[in-house]
Amino acid sequence: MSRSTPTALGRNLVRFFEEYLPVQRGLSPHTIRSYRDALLLLLRFTASERHCTVDRLDVPDLTVERITRFLATLEAERHNSIATRNARLGAIHVFARYLAGQCPEQLGTLQRIIGMPFKRGAVEAAIEYLDRAELDALLKSIDRSTELGRRDYALFAFMFNTGARVQETLNVRVVDVRLEAPPQVRLLGKGRKARTCPLWPATARLLRDLIAERGGFVDEPVSPLVFTNARGAPLTRYGVRYLLRRYVHKASQVAPSLKSKKLHPHSIRHSTAVALLKSGVDFATISHWLGHADLNTTMRYARADIDLKRRALAQVFPDVVTPPPGGRLLLDGSDLANWLRKL
């Protein structure tokens, strides 16, 4: 075989990433990059064992025994957690299922790979979120006298209002936002599934001011993004992470509890879920609000919040534990449960 002739493994890798994952499965770019990283690590490991270059590898080089050694290396040498190790194996499972349909002559080996079990013992990471006082301190730490400060305030208020994933937020364009009553926004989630989320009047005003400050609803072939950087280019996930870290550090002077929390942009989404749960919103509504594919994902938040546990305890021992008084939500000062019922 000529070195310029791609192997069956190479040809199917290209189709897997260019056609199957984005087109047939409709996975997000972030998920596709995660799959890419897992398979690239496996291919480099396999090439090292075979003493050849990655482009010379073929489907028979992927064996259960080799993948088992690869997974052990992830934990022993790269110090990956069990959860990360299992995520890598999940990507391998998906690729093996795809290969099974393309290379039926390798079906026996591929079925064994697909059947490789996940490792038990993974510790579910604690859900980090901001409570009302912490979120209040975060928003108040933003200097709204500057254009970028007003953008940042609108950004984090929008993320808390909608519970949108950070990339969903950054992908929102002006055309996706409806600011007249009732205000709402169209979000494009995982698997390119669209959902509509209501906006609080205060959030709608922040977005209206932000868009007007940048020139309003301009007539362009492609609607402009709502959230951009100082140069007008798309804001990145890493940029949002940097901003959140900066404001959390500043806000921790007022809310010391922030110093012990490992917060990231997804923590804003967690904060929304817990706030909705505390306000009495049912799991099904929260699941649709956040765009969860599985209701069990939403129910994790019930295990995360200590106030909810106190209230559950108070129902069993009402004379011993008194549930804390319900707080009022930020931004527009209304009770979210009642607000939802009035929609």
The catalytic residue positions are 165, 190, 266, 269, 292, 301
Q: Which two tokens stand for residue 240?
A: 């949002």
Q: How many helices (H) and strands (E) does the chain have?
A: 15, 3
Tokens of 56: 């010379």
Cis previous bond, 104, omega within 30 = no
**Residue 99, both tokens:** 């290969």
| Max Cα-Cα span within the chain | 81
The b/e string for 272-304 (b: 16+ C-beta within 10 A; e otherwise) is bbbbbbbbebebeebbebbbbeeeeebeebeeb
Q: Closest Cα to residue 340, out of 291, 295, 290, 281?
A: 281
Question: In Å, how far are 86, 89, 118, 237 from 121, measured between CA atoms?
Answer: 11, 15, 10, 30
